[in-house]
Amino acid sequence: MQYRRHYHKGASYFLTVNLADRSGDLLIQHVNVLRNAFKIVKQKHPFHIDAIVILPDHLHMLCTMPSDDADFSKRIKLIKYYFSHSIAKTERISKSRQKKGERGIWQRRFWEHCIRNEADYRMHIDYIHMNPVRHGYVERVQDWQYSSFHRFVADGLLPVDWAD
């Protein structure tokens, strides 16, 4: 049985993208490079980042696609590409990846979930913001700097002591 992604124009998606080496902290080391990759991709292929958290070895994002487009896979592929081509080659690259001209930074696949309703949307935003606490990086959500939680607080959507 072959898995097929379901693309829905204008839909919101929860996405998880992992590094191949889950023991490192490459995304935090190069967070500005990652942010720039997002910026480039958003300029060429717009989408809205509703919520995001960047952790050392993976990121979670809830994004909404434009009403005339649904290709989140293209956006993830390009984010990986721009990030990978902007940092030095220090990772081990398998022979199969070498044959395909790939780097060894990212896991090839990513997790996606199409948001079904408002409760699902809110649950995934909470999951994103709580993730640094769940992984033990911080004790309080507000202490993780690489999170859209701070934008939610600034916009008055969440109190600074949310989830304490």
pLDDT digits (tens, 9 = 90+) for 79-92: 999 999 888 676 56
Q: What is the pLDDT of residues 51-87, one digit of tens each?
A: 999 999 999 999 999 999 989 999 999 999 999 988 8
pLDDT at 107 over 60: yes
Q: Give the closest residue to 56 by CA, choosing from 27, 30, 31.
A: 27
pLDDT tens readout for residues 111-138: 999 999 999 999 999 999 999 999 999 9
Kindly list the catalytic residues: 146
Does some domain include residue 145? no
Mean pLDDT along residues 104-111: 87
Distance in angstroms (rounded) separating the CA atoms of residues 29 and 144: 14
> Domain for residue 152, yes or no?
no
Q: Which long-range contacts (CB under 8 A, 24 or more apart) does 36-41 make?
A: 36/82, 36/86, 37/78, 37/79, 37/80, 37/81, 37/82, 37/83, 37/86, 38/79, 40/78, 40/82, 41/75, 41/78, 41/79, 41/82
- Within a domain: 26: yes
Give the count of domains, the chain.
1
Token pair of 92 as six digits: 């081990």
Considering the domain boundaries, does residue 30 fall inside one? yes
Q: Is 22 a domain residue?
A: yes
Q: Which domain holds residue 16?
A: 12-117
Asked if the structure places residue 54 within a domain, the reply is yes
By DSSP bridging, strand 111-114 and strand 58-64 are: unpaired
pTM (2 decimals)? 0.90
**Joined tokens for residue 63:** 């994004």
- Beta-ladder partners of 49: 63
Tokens 């769940």 — which residue?
A: 134
Query: For residue 36, what is the domain's CATH number?
Result: 3.30.70.1290
Whether 150 is in a domain gets the answer no
DSSP-derived secondary structure for 123-147: HHHHHHHHHHHHTTS-SSGGG-SSB
Residue 73 lies in a domain: yes
